[in-house]
A = this chain, B = another copy of it.
Amino acid sequence: MKTDKILLDHGSGGKISHRLISELVAPAFDNPILSCLDDGAVLDMEGKRLAFSTDSYVVDPIFFPGGSIGDLAVNGTVNDIAMCGAVPLYLSTALIMEEGFPLADLERVLQDMQKAAREAGVYIVTGDTKVVPKGAADKIFINTSGLGLIPEGVNVTGSNARAGDIIIISGTMADHGMTILTQREGLHFASPLKSDSAPLNHMVRSLTERFGKEIHVLRDPTRGGVGTTLNEIAVSSGTGIKIYEEKLPVKDAVAGVCELLGFDPLYVANEGKLLAFVSPEKAEDVLETLKADRYGKDACIIGEVRAEHPGKVFLQTRIGGSRIADMLTGEQLPRIC
């Protein structure tokens, strides 16, 4: 698609946003450390490996079942740091608010942030507050940036998948995205959906402590969902990926809403799930470790890494066929996080 303007699709996490990043943003900032596809950058600070990550949150609505823009902003950046294999330690937060934003809502958002920070065990240490005239922003946008320390013996990156690796997901897909969508559209269902917004750092630490370098890739499939994240890993690692449709976990209520509204849960955002690529001989033990965590009890194996078809993700369908599960071209859902 040729355009001279920013489109909603540029923020989708799909193909068009990847093109924007790889053709415009990354070349502008070209340097040896720039992390384009991983969730954070890994920095060498006088012998220590630090993970550094940033995200702005613009979710609409700002309060929803299972969370708010406040805990999302903390959990999202905590998780990005954790997906580098790091122990998250410190967050910054920068608020942009619209004139007229209710102070009571701000207070609720701040409390959600602090509650999430406590659970994750991180400190919010520095911040910034900007106010723009009414109409120049929609309610509140929150940026969080984070810092963590990568323990010795951990080497996790999106380019580290190897043929033979087993792919594990820590729980069901699409809970966050479909919750936001149904809230926004004012749809009410008998079995209400709930965002999975959660900090995954303690679960990651259990994995890295126990399995060290046997954990090759960790990623949280947020914008663009599991499908997009797997494609990114396949490209970064130069491997093929095969997943099994019948093993992809989706709650019945979420699957129902997806079907009703025409969404594929494989491409819908999660905010409390991780994908782990691990050595095959450790896969069962990793699965048990994940299941022992409150945020990993529905963990399951969904696929494996292949040497053939590098850069491609194949889905083996329920009826035994196989098709390419590509990145989406356009936007499924704007302002999902």
Inter-chain CA distance A131–B12, complex, in Å, is 8
Could you tell me if B11 and A130 are in contact, using CB atoms closer than 8 angstroms? yes
Contact string against B for A residues 163-197, beta-carbon threshold 8 Å, 1 for contact and 0 otherwise: 00000000000000000000000000000000000
Could you tell me if A149 and B45 are in contact, using CB atoms closer than 8 angstroms? yes
Could you tell me if A55 and B97 are in contact, using CB atoms closer than 8 angstroms? no
The oligomer's copy count stands at 2
Does A257 sit within 8 A of B, measured CB to CB?
Answer: no
Does A236 sit within 8 A of B, measured CB to CB?
Answer: no
| A128-B56, A132-B138 as given contacts; A90 in contact with B41, CB under 8 Å | yes
A74 to chain B, nearest CB (A): 10
Could you tell me if B130 and A56 are in contact, using CB atoms closer than 8 angstroms? yes
Does A278 sit within 8 A of B, measured CB to CB?
Answer: no
CB nearest neighbor in B for A92: B54
Number of A residues contacting the other chain (C-beta, 8 Å)? 81
Chain B residues contacting A34 (CB-CB under 8 Å) are 123-126
| A100-B6, A132-B334, A138-B136 as given contacts; A111 in contact with B28, CB under 8 Å | yes
Could you tell me if A110 and B10 are in contact, using CB atoms closer than 8 angstroms? no
Contact string against B for A residues 130-148, beta-carbon threshold 8 Å, 1 for contact and 0 otherwise: 1111011110010101010
Does A48 sit within 8 A of B, measured CB to CB?
Answer: yes
Chain B residues contacting A32 (CB-CB under 8 Å) are 123
Inter-chain CA distance A8–B137, complex, in Å, is 13
Could you tell me if B41 and A335 are in contact, using CB atoms closer than 8 angstroms? no
Does A237 sit within 8 A of B, measured CB to CB?
Answer: no
Could you tell me if A6 and B106 are in contact, using CB atoms closer than 8 angstroms? yes
Does A25 sit within 8 A of B, measured CB to CB?
Answer: yes
CB nearest neighbor in B for A10: B131
Does A113 sit within 8 A of B, measured CB to CB?
Answer: yes
From the candidates B31, B90, B106, B124, name the one contacting A24 in the complex (CB within 8 A).
B106
CB nearest neighbor in B for A100: B5
From the candidates B54, B100, B132, name the one contacting A58 in the complex (CB within 8 A).
B132
Chain B residues contacting A117 (CB-CB under 8 Å) are 29
Inter-chain CA distance A99–B138, complex, in Å, is 13
Q: Which residues of A contact B (CB under 8 A)?
A: 3-12, 17, 20-21, 24-25, 28-29, 31-35, 40-41, 43, 45-46, 48, 50, 52-58, 60, 89-90, 92-104, 106-107, 110-111, 113-114, 117, 123-133, 135-138, 141, 143, 145, 147, 149, 334-335
Ordered by A's residue number, 11 sampled pairs between the chains whose C-beta atoms are within 8 Å are A6-B98, A8-B99, A9-B131, A29-B114, A31-B123, A34-B126, A35-B126, A54-B92, A58-B130, A58-B136, A145-B145
Other than the given A10-B131, A35-B125, A40-B126, 13 more pairs (CB < 8 A) read A5-B100, A6-B101, A6-B102, A6-B131, A9-B131, A11-B130, A24-B107, A29-B117, A34-B125, A43-B147, A52-B90, A56-B128, A137-B141
